[in-house]
Amino acid sequence: MTRGLEYMWAGEPPETERLWGEHIALDQIAAAERGYESCGPAEQLLWERLSVFEGAFGREAVRDVCASGTLPADAIQTVLDRLAPLALLPVDDLFDGEDGLPRYWMPHPMRAVGARRLTARGDRWAVLLHHRRWCVKVARRASDWWQRGRQFDARDLALRELPDLAAAMDPTTAPLSPSAEAETSVEIAVSLWFLWVACGRVAEGRARLRHALSLHAGPPSARALWLAAFLELESGRPEDADPLLARAWAAAVRDGDERCLSLLAHLRGATALYQGRTRAAAAEFREALALMEEHPEFGPSRRACWVGLALSLCRSDPEGAQEALDQGDLDRESRRAWVGRDVFAESWAYHVRAELGAWDGDRARAAEYARRALREHLRLGSAVGAACAAELLAQMRAMDGHRDAAAHLFGAVDLLRTSVFESSYRPAEYCVATRARGEEALGAPLGDPDLREAYEEGARRGLFTLSGEIQGPFGPPVAG
């Protein structure tokens, strides 16, 4: 607590209290107390219960978390409407296509008052349990949206609710004991697999899952171990992914989780591809397709398996890679009525099409597909994919004589990797080979004074800026 309220007219700062990482003036808390006292019993009860939310919330969340016998669900709407002008701020964080229902945020002074009163009433632990169950529901909904092709909506939902989901993924915030709620924390982390793997939050997902698993009393589920292995691979640690893969397979057999076997085959394929073992990767992706059900309810899609197979073949068997893409397109068309577009798989399919264009000597076509891959990965937030696509595009630009443009891209890629990954991170062999070919096509090392200036300029501008500026000459638009 900071002294100084009595000296505020002398220019001293007011007395404050540190709450949720911020200094809150005590006069603001006192004003919130007066507002609380002016409310009726129902509004006070809802005020207290809303204090468990870490971020913004909507009416459905309020019903799920705050309704109980003394505050029935059918009364929540009326009480919320009366309370909102007194204790809440409206928030405009809806994403495209979402119903335009109002959402709110409770400022920290109001939240502090509510939290203290909730604890004094003896209801805090019960409401926190309701909050954690609501977080499980949100994570499952986001996962379902991802599987059904609403991938940007799934990402936006998960990111918007991440303050609350993050609290629920920490077992030490559980009302009983960390071990009692660790399973809930693990389930939420696993449901959000796409946010960590496909949307560029690998380090965060790895840290949250490892923390939850460290407090988990029983044996981890096969899917939790699968995700742990996947995050090790995406972090550039394939040697750490292998033992987790073996444990995940044993857990799947132990639990009778046959659906997880296809996930593990896909991940073994991704691991082999990362290590440059393309023949083994192709075999594993084929195994994943043989094991995967028609409409997988969790994890990478069949489309992702076809694209993985095509990536494994694109530099050694271009006809086989094209056939895999064609089969993936047929597979996707037969499922279009049930699911939407798999943007993550499609962004990697653009990599394959770029490689096939380069194989055919059509550098304009290859560059256009590489640019599409870059933009799609950036839209999703995938640093791994964006870096790989940018290096492939840099190779095409260098081969066409646009050395400065290629150096710009290399500079932006290196800045991205150093800002996202640890210093020990090593890209996949596929990406390493792409980078080597691109630098060879430059005809001079990046230390060359002219190229170095372009390289540093690219690092300053970044991939988002460069991806919007890069245009032809790529030739006419290409289909697909």
**Residues 285, 308: contact at Cβ < 8 Å?**
yes
pLDDT value of residue 450: 84
Mean pLDDT of 159-181: 87
Residue 4 has a pLDDT of 34
Instruction: Report the chain's mean pLDDT, rounded to a whole number.
Output: 90
Rounded CA separation 251/237 (Å)? 22
The confidence score (pLDDT) of residue 468 equals 83
pTM over 0.95, yes/no: no
pLDDT in tens, 366-414: 999 999 999 999 999 999 999 999 999 999 999 999 999 999 999 999 9
Query: By three-state DSSP, how is residue 166 classified?
Result: helix
Residue 474, pLDDT score: 46
Task: Give how far the C-alpha of residue 262 lies from the chain's centroid of Cα atoms, to the nearest Å.
Answer: 22
Give 446 or 250, the one with higher predicted confidence.
Answer: 250
Q: Are 210 and 159 in contact (CB under 8 A)?
A: no
**pLDDT for 14:** 59
Residue pair 118/49 in contact by the 8 Å Cβ criterion: yes
Q: pLDDT-derived band of residue 93, with 50, 70 and 90 as boundaries?
A: confident
Which two tokens mark 318?
Answer: 């271009």
- β-strand partners of 19: 22
Report d(CA 182, CA 98) in Å as an integer: 32
> What is d(CA 434, CA 367) in angstroms, rounded to the nearest whole number?
13
Pairing of strands 103-105, 89-91: antiparallel
